[in-house]
């Protein structure tokens, strides 16, 4: 993973390295920035610099931010004509629209199925449609293509990537695998088709515990690419694993202090946390689970208020499926945003690249279209079908 230097405009005095270990290095400078220190860091092997408006240390003192409102659906007058066009295209193409829980509300509203990665893979495996319109990020559409090599798979924006996927290049994984022939590689579905090819079994956050429990006992487990999910699975199963050092840039931005403040302010609220979050955040949770299980938890819980620690797109479904309940979104320390962007929301910039217009256009043009070499499809299908089989047990 590239080392990134994060520079805070109003942080602590002078140069202070807060974190290393191959992850993001957080560095604060006094304002104005000390040019010499920035240059010194660059020559020390740091490959990119992101400028922040606030420092990690000042996050808890950020005035007036104790939660943020998730995004509203597109206005009806704009959404309805597009939705009608999409419905007509769906009929004429014999298409199915699959959407991830993090998609914008208006895309969720036109989808045939909205769910997490596991549900989407299961739907993709079952569908009779001739065209799959995959509204999520690139690796998800790849998974649908691997399961349906003879069908047309289109996606609204081919550049919708994923920080987790990027963190695990197949070449580097292959090099690590060569160091131990006894590795059994469990790959979180958030990885490229090339990484899936190299894996023994795939998992999602919804079934990772079950998949790891089913792994051969005589093997050394290698878990890629999410270190936080892997760590949580180790805690749940007691099975040691070598963890790849990747993470989701959205989930690691949640801060324990901010969450603790919210818990104190809303003591009745249940805290629901995605396992891609850090351990110190997970420790404050009433439930740690995948997005699909979050919805089930919120439905069945007698509580009326929930603090949702994941990408905020899921709140649209929660509001629809859990009427009368309230969902609060904690603000994040958002290292990926530009200095002029004051938003502290937990939106994934990749998931939000898809729009209703792009859904319409990809159906009209049957492009961008997902294509993969046959050899990749053949090799990557095996660990995915293994996951689906274990998951169905
Ligand atoms: S939320 Fe995180 S894991 Fe999901 S697509 Fe965005 S960057 Fe990847």
* Tens-digit pLDDT profile for residues 369-379: 999 999 999 99
Query: For ligand 1, what atom is nearest to the CA of residue 190?
Result: 3
What is d(CA 376, CA 167) in angstroms, rounded to the nearest whole number?
20
250 CA distance to ligand 1 middle (Å): 7
Residue 335's pLDDT band, with cuts at 50, 70 and 90, is low
Q: What does the pLDDT average to over 348-353?
A: 92
Mean of pLDDT over the chain: 85
pLDDT confidence of residue 40 = 52
Which H/E stretch holds residue 374?
Answer: helix 374-392
380: CB partners within 8 A, 6+ apart: 142, 146, 193, 196, 197, 372
74-104 burial, b if ≥16 CB within 10 A, otherwise e?
A: beeeebeebbebbeebbeebebbbbbbbbbb
Q: From atom 5 of ligand 1, which residue's Cα is the shortest distance away?
A: 162
Residue 194 has pLDDT above 90, yes or no: yes
Q: Higher pLDDT residue, 101 or 27?
A: 101
Residue 331's pLDDT band, with cuts at 50, 70 and 90, is confident
Predicted TM-score of the model (pTM): 0.82
Q: What does the pLDDT average to over 344-350?
A: 86
40: CB partners within 8 A, 6+ apart: none
What is d(CA 379, CA 197) in angstroms, rounded to the nearest whole number?
5
What is d(CA 171, CA 300) in angstroms, rounded to the nearest whole number?
44
267 and 283 belong to one structural domain: yes
Cα 384 to its chain centre, rounded Å, is 18
Q: Higher pLDDT residue, 181 or 26?
A: 181
Whether 164 is in the pocket of ligand 1, judged by its Cβ within 6 Å, is yes
354, 103 Cβ separation under 8 angstroms: yes
Total tally of structural domains belonging to the chain: 4
221 and 290 belong to one structural domain: no
Q: What does the pLDDT average to over 45-60?
A: 41
Is 393 domain-assigned? no
If one counts every other C-beta atom within 10 angstroms of the C-beta of residue 63, the result is 5
238 and 260 belong to one structural domain: no
229, 208 Cβ separation under 8 angstroms: yes
Is 381 domain-assigned? no
pLDDT confidence of residue 315 = 96
77: CB partners within 8 A, 6+ apart: none
pLDDT confidence of residue 336 = 57
In this structure, are strands 326-328 and 287-288 parallel, antiparallel, or unpaired? unpaired
Residue 333 has pLDDT above 50, yes or no: yes
Closest residue by Cα to residue 306 from 344, 348, 343, 274: 274
Residue 241 has pLDDT above 90, yes or no: yes
Residue 345: how many CA atoms within 13 Å on its side-chain side? 17
87 and 146 belong to one structural domain: yes
Instruction: Lowest mean pLDDT of 54-63, 220-229, 304-313, name the range.
Output: 54-63
Whether 332 is in the pocket of ligand 1, judged by its Cβ within 6 Å, is no
Check residue 70 and report its DSSP letter.
P
Query: For ligand 1, what atom is nearest to the CA of residue 349?
Result: 6
Q: Which domain holds residue 25?
A: 4-57
pLDDT confidence of residue 341 = 56
Closest residue by Cα to residue 191 from 220, 212, 222: 222
Q: What does the pLDDT average to over 295-307?
A: 97
Q: From atom 8 of ligand 1, which residue's Cα is the shortest distance away?
A: 162
Residue 55 has pLDDT above 80, yes or no: no
Domain end position, chosen among 190, 223, 249? 249
134, 140 Cβ separation under 8 angstroms: yes
If one counts every other C-beta atom within 10 angstroms of the C-beta of residue 343, the result is 12
Instruction: Lowest mean pLDDT of 7-16, 183-192, 207-216, name the range.
Output: 7-16
Residue 345's pLDDT band, with cuts at 50, 70 and 90, is confident
Instruction: Lowest mean pLDDT of 12-26, 165-179, 276-290, name the range.
Output: 12-26
Residue 66's pLDDT band, with cuts at 50, 70 and 90, is confident
230 and 180 belong to one structural domain: yes
180 and 207 belong to one structural domain: yes
Is 388 domain-assigned? no
307, 332 Cβ separation under 8 angstroms: no
Testing ligand 1's pocket by substitution, the residue of 134, 137, 244 carrying the most ligand atoms inside 8 A of its CB is 137
Residue 294's domain is classified under what CATH number?
3.40.50.10800
In this structure, are strands 25-28 and 16-17 parallel, antiparallel, or unpaired? antiparallel
């Amino acid at each position: 993973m590239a080392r990134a230097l994060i520079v805070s405009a109003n942080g602590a005095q002078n140069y202070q390295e807060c974190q290393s270990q191959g992850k993001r290095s957080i560095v604060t400078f006094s304002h104005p920035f000390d040019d010499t220190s920035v240059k010194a860091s660059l020559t020390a092997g740091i490959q990119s610099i992101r400028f922040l408006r606030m420092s990690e240390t000042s996050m808890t003192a950020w005035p007036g931010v104790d939660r943020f409102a998730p995004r509203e659906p597109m206005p009806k007058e704009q959404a309805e004509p597009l939705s009608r066009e999409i419905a007509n295209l769906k009929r004429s193409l014999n298409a199915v629209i699959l959407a991830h829980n993090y998609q914008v509300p208006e895309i969720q509203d036109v989808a045939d199925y909205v769910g997490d990665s596991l549900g989407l893979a299961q739907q993709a495996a079952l569908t009779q449609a001739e065209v799959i319109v995959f509204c999520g990020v690139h690796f998800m559409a790849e998974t649908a293509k691997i399961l349906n090599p003879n069908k047309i798979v289109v996606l609204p924006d081919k550049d919708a990537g994923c920080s987790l996927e990027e963190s695990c290049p197949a070449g580097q994984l292959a090099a690590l695998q060569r160091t131990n022939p006894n590795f059994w590689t469990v790959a979180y579905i958030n990885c490229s088709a090339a990484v899936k090819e190299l894996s023994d079994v795939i998992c999602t956050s919804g079934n990772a515990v079950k998949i790891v429990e089913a792994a051969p006992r005589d093997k050394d487990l290698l878990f890629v690419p999410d270190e936080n999910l892997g760590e949580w699975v180790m805690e749940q199963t007691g099975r040691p694993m070598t963890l790849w050092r990747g993470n989701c840039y959205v989930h690691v931005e949640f801060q324990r202090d901010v969450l603790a403040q919210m818990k104190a302010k809303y003591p009745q609220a249940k805290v629901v946390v995605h396992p891609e979050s850090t351990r110190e955040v997970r420790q404050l949770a009433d439930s740690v689970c995948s997005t699909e299980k979050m919805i089930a938890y919120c439905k069945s819980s007698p509580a009326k208020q929930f603090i949702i620690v994941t990408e905020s797109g899921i709140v649209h479904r929660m509001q629809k499926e859990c009427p009368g309940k309230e969902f609060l979104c904690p603000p994040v320390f958002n290292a990926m945003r530009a200095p002029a962007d004051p938003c502290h929301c937990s939106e994934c910039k990749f998931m939000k690249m898809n729009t209703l217009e792009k859904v319409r256009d990809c159906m009209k043009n049957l492009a961008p279209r997902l294509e993969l070499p046959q050899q990749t499809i053949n090799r990557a299908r095996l660990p995915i079908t293994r996951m689906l089989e274990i998951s169905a047990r």
